[in-house]
Structure 1
Amino acid sequence: MNSTPLSLPVSRTSRRGLQASLLPLAVVLLLAALPAFMSSYSADLVLRIMVYAIFALSLELLVGTTGLVSLGHAGFFGIAAYVTVLASGDNAASAFWLLPASMLAAGLYALVTGALSLRTRGVYFIMVTLAFAQMAYFVFHDTPVGGGSDGIFLTSRPVLAIGGATLLDLEKSGHIYYLALACLVGTYALLAAVLRSRFGHALAGIRINEQRMRAAGFNTYFYKLAAFVLAAMLAGVAGFLMAAKNGAVNPELLSWHESGGVLMMIILGGLGSLRGAVLGAVAFVLLKEFYASSAIFGAFAERWQLTLGLTMILFVALLPQGLIGLARRFTRSPEPHHAH
């Protein structure tokens, strides 16, 4: 018996598996080496992309995996950012407890929000999540606790010191860059593990047919609530990094524009893919930076929302599977021809 037809698919599968393992590692190594060759502006741009990539990955767990479209995800992002600034005080606070505190604050608000909003479905769920995010927005916008519309400044960025030795000082651009890279790698690895777990398979089943999952004995409400809280806490990581990066926060971090922006990132990258979420964040931030450049577009750069919106419409029309679908189309190996 000729075993060649059987060996070809196996070798192709193993090759794809090897590529799938090596590509993320190569990207991480590239990001780790970039600061040595970049200007301060370019390093800040890459840092912003990594923060938004974490934010996009957190929403991917809700939308792409569980099928829960939320327009209030920026609420958790902004709450974590505000907690980072408010809890820091006048002296540099320790990142050892400040990051978990920011994540916990986002998770607690998500627990309340999710417990109520997950009792609705479809467009009603979208509107309820938007309403909760807007409530948080107006708390920080209209009360002294958040400094009003101007926001508040971070007096001293977080540090991490052990035994008098400072291991991490987020005042230094290199330190916050590598912290963001570590958080991005950790978020991606965590979600990859979640998707392969029984919990992740249950979430995928809920997205496909929730009624069948309930009939199989799954308490879908608590699965969705757990995903909602986990996604919010991961958004809290991005909020902490954004506050530490900018040294200031304002209510716009909680606005529906921010929620819509991160939703566009995962649509642009391709729903249902962690790599797509990262790719979408890269493309969205770079497109925004490009269209807002007065050196290229002159006075029209002030209307970057218009050009970005038109670009998004074209992408959705021409690439229904997003950028990750385009990448798969170019990297897919041709099927071998078997003679009969």
Structure 2
Amino acid sequence: MVPAWSRCLPLVAPLALLLALALLPAVLSPYLMDLTVKILVSAIFALSLQLLVGTTGLVSLGHAAFLGIGAYVTVLASPQGEGASLWWLLPAAMAGAAAYALFVGALSLRTRGVYFIMVTLAFAQMAYFVFHDTKLGGGSDGIYLYVRPVLRLGDTTLLDLENKRQVYGLVLASLAFTWGLLALLLRSRFGHALQGIRVNEARMRAVGFRTYGYKLAAFVIAGALAGLAGALFAIQDGVVNPELLSWHESGAVLLMIILGGLGPLRGAIVGAVAFTLLKELFASEGLVGPLAAHWQMTLGLTIIAFVALLPRGIVGLRWRRGSA
């Protein structure tokens, strides 16, 4: 019989990490605070795509559309003269992204393989041009969030997001929520069905699963979580532009989960940390000198080396050591 305490061990590391991250602002400079928030938002975005690619086997090249829609809904729904309430603003951003994910998924999931990849890319580019070529999104310059939202309970202000430490707390809580939600989903019958679809969809259909519905539900959930990341991005930066919906943002988040490791949730977080830090390193003239002007090349070569040497991603290092 397995002792009750041993069943709690898998929770110890995530809780310890969460506690360490909660205490981190006390020792961070403003620059490192902004960088850490950027990493945490990227981790939420990467986790949302991990549900599609790593769990369900659906490789999407248009995931940035949901990130951008979440960001634009956050800014467009916020009044210019006062801070909007987070009680409805974050759900609205997630709902907007989920609605577009439902539309895109309902059509794109009727295709497979490379056709699915191209259809998701096409829908993302459509959304990109809507915000880029119309006054709705402010054109190529984007739009500004003049007053950041607040969280109030009655007359008491719980969060004022003009304070960077409180933005950090909100982003960290959102990451914990995303991780917890996906961890529960993966342990449920729904999560097991998604993993079965990734392994052999034809067999899942043969035993009675309506795989289209499962895939569509996963697509919508992933879109909603990407919308949450977009809302947090808008709150942090105070400005959004159409580049958030571009194909290279979708490619970047795909690289994150490949770099970290496809499948486990921790792979998305490790990949987001590694990708963001590598990008920051290679773009810093103080650290790499003249090579900073060519950071895309050095970053690309580094990722190629990682993928070649670590086909299971960074989290696969543990597996390789254990099998040696």
Match of 2:318 among 323, 327, 331: 327
1:37 corresponds in structure 2 to 27
- 1:152 corresponds to 2:168: no
Give runs of aligned pairs for residues 87-102 of structure 1, distance below 5 A.
Answer: 87-90=77-80, 91-102=82-93
2:171 corresponds in structure 1 to 180
Cα shift at 1:163: 1.5
Read off the aligned partner of 1:310 and give its amino acid letter: L
Change (3 A) 1:165 1:18: closer
1:4 corresponds in structure 2 to none
Read off the aligned partner of 1:270 and give its amino acid letter: G
Match of 2:254 among 237, 259, 263: 263
Match of 2:51 among 56, 61, 65: 61
1:52 corresponds in structure 2 to 42
Partners of 1:285 and 1:82 in 2: how far apart?
A: 23
Listed one character per residue, the Cα deviations across residues 11-59 of structure 1 (whole Å, up to 9, x for unaligned) are: 9xx86x6553211111101100100011011111111110000000000
Partners of 2:305 and 2:8 in 1: how far apart?
A: 33
**1:160 is paired with a residue of what secondary structure?**
strand
Match of 2:200 among 209, 221, 227: 209
Partners of 1:326 and 1:303 in 2: how far apart?
A: 29
Listed one character per residue, the Cα deviations across residues 98-137 of structure 1 (whole Å, up to 9, x for unaligned) are: 0000000000000000000000000000000000000000
Match of 1:230 among 216, 221, 224: 221
Give runs of aligned pairs for residues 48-197 of structure 1, distance below 5 A.
Answer: 48-90=38-80, 91-197=82-188
Read off the aligned partner of 2:76 and give its amino acid letter: L
Cα shift at 1:327: 3.3
Match of 1:253 among 223, 226, 244: 244
1:317 corresponds in structure 2 to 308
Partners of 1:302 and 1:48 in 2: how far apart?
A: 22
2:290 corresponds in structure 1 to 299
Partners of 1:300 and 1:115 in 2: how far apart?
A: 45
Cα shift at 1:275: 0.5
Runs (5+) with no aligned partner, structure 2: none
**1:68 is paired with a residue of what secondary structure?**
coil
Partners of 1:39 and 1:329 in 2: how far apart?
A: 37
Partners of 1:109 and 1:289 in 2: how far apart?
A: 32
1:337 corresponds in structure 2 to none
Match of 1:22 among 2, 7, 12: 12
Aligned residues: 323
Partners of 2:254 and 2:293 in 1: how far apart?
A: 22
**2:84 is paired with a residue of what secondary structure?**
coil
Partners of 2:165 and 2:28 in 1: how far apart?
A: 12
C-alpha RMSD of matched pairs (Å): 1.7
Identity %: 66
TM-score with structure 2 setting the length: 0.96
Moved more, 72-81 or 290-299: 290-299
Partners of 1:155 and 1:45 in 2: how far apart?
A: 22
Partners of 2:154 and 2:186 in 1: how far apart?
A: 39
Runs (5+) with no aligned partner, structure 1: 1-6, 335-340
**2:193 is paired with a residue of what secondary structure?**
helix
Read off the aligned partner of 1:75 and give its amino acid letter: A
1:3 corresponds in structure 2 to none
Cα shift at 1:169: 1.0
**1:323 is paired with a residue of what secondary structure?**
coil
Listed one character per residue, the Cα deviations across residues 49-71 of structure 1 (whole Å, up to 9, x for unaligned) are: 10000000000000000000000
Partners of 2:240 and 2:293 in 1: how far apart?
A: 22
Read off the aligned partner of 2:37 and give its amino acid letter: L
Partners of 2:191 and 2:298 in 1: how far apart?
A: 37
